[in-house]
Amino acid sequence: MHKLEHELFELLSITAPSGMERPVADFLIKRLQGQVDYLGRDSYGNVLAEKAYGTGVGPTILLCAHMDTVWVDPDREIVQERAVWSSSSGPLGADDRAGIAIILDVLRTLNQNSSFQGCLKLAFTCEEEIGRVGSEQIDPLWLEDVQLCIVVDRRGNRDIVVRNSRMRFCDPQLGDYFEAMGTMCGMSGWQAVQGGISDAVTFASLGIPSVNLSAGYEYEHTDEEYVNVNQCKETIRLIVQSLINFPLQQQRIA
């Protein structure tokens, strides 16, 4: 089993609904120890990390996924039919364990072989499912130097959420940039779209240009939920390509 699949399976096997994220946080602390320059929990329980690449001179980019799920049956089985995984009973919980697994694989890829120059920040948040509570508790000073936030918490595949019905998350040119990076990777179907509520709202509200990328799951919060592991891998490729080519200067939202 590929490392991505192994970690995704481990994450899906952890029961941690909103307000009970500690087991996922413990998993992440153990997994990230020795892989990053800074690692810790903030006062609300969010897991935060930092890693400098090369000289560290370059853009500071935040990757975010949430640790909580809706209620899942702790006795369910994870049914694996090649790349498509589902639950034997109730929701699978891939929203947003798939996002966490994707970010961990991005970090692994960059640590092994990358020309990315800059700083990567990671935020794994609490209680997103009940109103983005955890992300709103992150110290704004820790976010002050962030030039781009990539949230990995969108259903389906090849969506680049750049706005919702109430606000834009970034300049339209940033959506164009991610579309171009998808094409560069041989995945021309990536498209800037309108979405709903995610932690991207929190960061965009602070003026940080933000996008929310598809994490390969569908029908979240229902008995029909599933995740396509191949689509997770597509998102990893897009993020890595986007980080390597990201321009040094990126304006915050006015």
Domain extents in the chain: 3-245
Two tokens, residue 116: 């990315």
* Cβ-based neighbour number of residue 87 at 10 Å: 22
Could you tell me which CATH class the domain 3-245 is placed in?
alpha beta
Q: How far apart are CA 66 and CA 126, in angstroms?
A: 6
Instruction: Read off the pLDDT of residues 226-241 as tens digits, 9 standing for 90 and up.
Output: 999 999 999 999 999 9
Instruction: Read off the pLDDT of residues 129-185 as tens digits, 9 standing for 90 and up.
Output: 999 999 999 999 999 999 999 999 999 999 999 999 999 999 999 999 999 999 999
Which one-letter amino acid corresponds to residue 173? Q
Mean pLDDT value of segment 32-42? 97
User: Which pLDDT score is estimated for 249?
Assistant: 53
Mean pLDDT value of segment 86-91? 98
User: Which pLDDT score is estimated for 114?
Assistant: 73
Given the DSSP bridges, would you call strands 226-228 and 47-53 parallel, antiparallel or unpaired?
unpaired
Q: How far apart are CA 188 and CA 245, in angstroms?
A: 17
